Amino acid sequence: MRKIFNFVDGTIVSGGNASLGDVFDPNLGQVQAQVCFADQALVDAAVASAKAAQPGWAELNPQRRARIMFNLRVLIEDNMDELAHLLSSEHGKVIADAKGDIQRGLDVIEFVCGVPHLIKGAFTEGAGPGIDVFSMRQPLGVAAGITPFNFPAMIPLWMLAPAIACGNAFILKPSERDPSLGVRLAELALEAGLPAGILNVVHGGKDVVDALLDHSDIAAVSFVGSSDIAHAVYARGAAAGKRMQCMGGAKNHGIVLPDADMEQTVADIMGAAFGSAGERCMALPVVVPVGASTATDLRERLISAIASLRVGISTDSEAHYGPVISAAHKTRVENYIQMGVDEGAELVVDGRGFSLQGHEEGYFLGPTLFDQVTPAMRSYQEEIFGPVLQIVRAETLDEAISLATNHQYGNGVSLFTRNGAAARQFASIVQVGMVGINVPIPVPVSYHSFGGWKRSGFGDLNQYGEDSIKFFTRTKTVTQRWPSGDAVSDQGFVMPTMR
């Protein structure tokens, strides 16, 4: 059986004395590989390797670091088909979606190829008599990233690309459910010219996460996962004195006004709600039609569109989405569907019981649609993370905005309308971190930044964009004076000023 190893100091290594974990093929419901979990000694070795390699990497001028990042971008593009099939085989998302996963990571690599400009400091000549002030951005040292199963390429690249480009070494702990891609990316980085030790990959569960959070030589940790775990990780890492960036769950709303282009809106909602089997923190699991006639029209259109969806294996080029990640997750989603029924929501389309011929043991769920969902329902309040779409009706735009604003999560929200004034009002007042106007999945481009509010994000700095440069560096400010002549200052005993 295939084994998935750790990657430390530029070499494939086993997990020491730690255990093995099963990696399933979600299309078949069968074990396809085993991942070698790291033990404490191997985590320590990975950090030691990173710590030893980092100073030399940081001394390399940023232009040369950028060239290596550009080489990595080329290698990932050249190996796109291999990477997409590897990703799909472990996650279950269809090949086209897997390539999108990789491409959004490539976008961030492209952004950090501009690192010579991004880490430039500031300079003030003549801040005082004979005094100049300048600042510089310097790397932190060793950083770590703990990534979820749903984006095995994109989120690791969101973290490691800016961290490494800024001169840090990086320890990646990918999800144990689909771990192969993290190792393959590390191999490609080595091929691109990255020195051994700058990117290490260790596998494992909570014990490995805790080892990284507690390690005194790790200066910063970036995390993506569920909100409860994100909060716990943030607290533990911050208590250890680390810089922390932890992204949590979501319950994104799509608000539909009566004047929306309904045909385009339905197409957008379908892809956002059911793409990748709903396993995205930026999925659109709640749609809020404003007004009774809008709700009636939208509901009928959604029913019709759902009937045309194709659920298939990840290599089916005509499938809209594939299986969910695991048997346990399939059961979890099915339990939420039953919860909605028990709470009194109207189950319009039931995705339970879906079976794909020849893949009966695969982790497949058909699309599910609820109507008459209310804010008091637990199935609305919590993140389902599956192919389930809920209709929550509102009478006014203000009521719809309050739904998104008052929800415990504040990751993303979208408004579908032709009314520019309404869109402007909406974008200004809704209390959510990422906003789309006629854009169903408002993930910002790589030179802005990604991050939610409330329980969707813990920490002051977002992922990628300029925030990532700030997160993975620290500012040093130098005030210098080169006196001229023999004059001696008499201000030594008072607070210095620039007058």
Beta-carbon-side half-sphere exposure of residue 179 (alpha carbons within 13 Å): 30
Structural contact between residues 166 and 143, judged by C-beta atoms closer than 8 angstroms = no
* Cα separation, 338 vs 347, whole angstroms: 9
Instruction: Give one DSSP letter per residue of 440-474, joined into a string.
Output: SS-PPPTTS-B--EETTEESSS-BSHHHHHHHTEE
Q: What is the CA radius of gyration of the chain?
A: 25
Cα angle vertex 337, ends 290, 269, to 5°? Answer: 40
* Cα separation, 125 vs 349, whole angstroms: 68
| CA distances from residue 400 to 338, 350, 430 in whole angstroms, order as listed | 25, 26, 10
Structural contact between residues 82 and 101, judged by C-beta atoms closer than 8 angstroms = no
Largest CA distance in the chain: 91
Instruction: Give one DSSP letter per residue of 355-413, joined into a string.
Output: --TT-TTS-----EEEES--TT-HHHHS---SSEEEE--BSSHHHHHHHHHHSSEESEE
The DSSP 8-state label assigned to residue 80 in this structure reads: H
Encoding tokens for residue 284? 């659109």
The DSSP 8-state label assigned to residue 290 in this structure reads: B
> Which residues are the active-site residues?
281
